[in-house]
Amino acid sequence: MGSTIFIVWRESVEAMLVVGILHAWLKFNSAGAAGLRALGLGVLCGLGLAGLLGWAMVAAQDELSGTALEYFQVAMLLVASGLIVQMVLWMRRHGAGMRKNLHQSLQVAMQRSGLVGIAAVAALAIAREGAETAVFLYGVSLEPGNSANVFMGAMLGFALAAFTAWILGRGLRFLDYRRFFAMSGWMLLFFAGALLVSAIDRLIGAGLLPALVDPLWNTAGLLDDSGRLGSIVAALVGYRAHPSLMLVVVYAAYWLFMLRAMRPARQHA
């Protein structure tokens, strides 16, 4: 449940900040009450699009079985992992200018399409965040023992996000949104690694990847990934008590890539 709470919290905070930025801009510009209504309509449309994606994934799973279902679930795990990485890297490079970029997009949309443009900008921004969340939650639900806790974790994460967004809106310095995204980004990268590990495990189990050496080591005596604490660590960071060599190679390559990809943003900051 912890990964679900964190993902929904982080993504919901980002979505709420986007809505807050758009709302503040419209409030002090010529759009008036009509612009704010268009913003609300855009938010609802964005949530609807994200919900449609979630429904499509569940519907697709219900239509599949056997090998086809296994391939679909592995693909969704890889997509969810890739989306997390893409989002974190994008926020590292462009997060500081998010407010300015949103203002510019909204101004251009208003000039070209009026209220429809306002609704479209809001809908696309919210749909992006919501769609990412839907894919992430689907990927998390494929982890052993997580499916039953996804709904409760999502509700807790959303409530925590609303509180966090309120604090950020109050301008408390210890929760500056740039620091929030920087710190939470690293946690998301660990989640992405955990989803990648699950996908590689399934590919090895299906015979699509060689294990090479299996197991490479066995640390179940120290921390068993089937136990209560071990399963939490496994879900959060991708820990395995007895991994194969292929799994270790992929996980090491993932973190080498991420450390290299994050280095320019870290030095620039």
20 in Cβ contact with 171 (< 8 Å): no
Residue 266 — very low, low, confident or very high, per pLDDT cuts 50/70/90?
A: very low
CB atoms within 10 A of CB 213: 12
DSSP string, 120-175: HHHHHHHHHHHHHHHHHHHHHHTSTTTGGGHHHHHHHHHHHHHHHHHHHHTT-GGG
pLDDT digits (tens, 9 = 90+) for 233-262: 887 888 999 999 999 999 999 999 999 988
Query: Tokens 């996804």 label which residue?
Result: 150
pLDDT digits (tens, 9 = 90+) for 109-134: 766 767 787 778 778 878 877 887 88
The yes-or-no verdict on residue 265 having pLDDT over 60 is: no
The yes-or-no verdict on residue 267 having pLDDT over 50 is: no
**Distance between CA atoms of 117 and 161, rounded to whole angstroms?**
27
The three-point CA angle 113-117-119 to 5° equals 145
**Distance between CA atoms of 117 and 5, rounded to whole angstroms?**
33
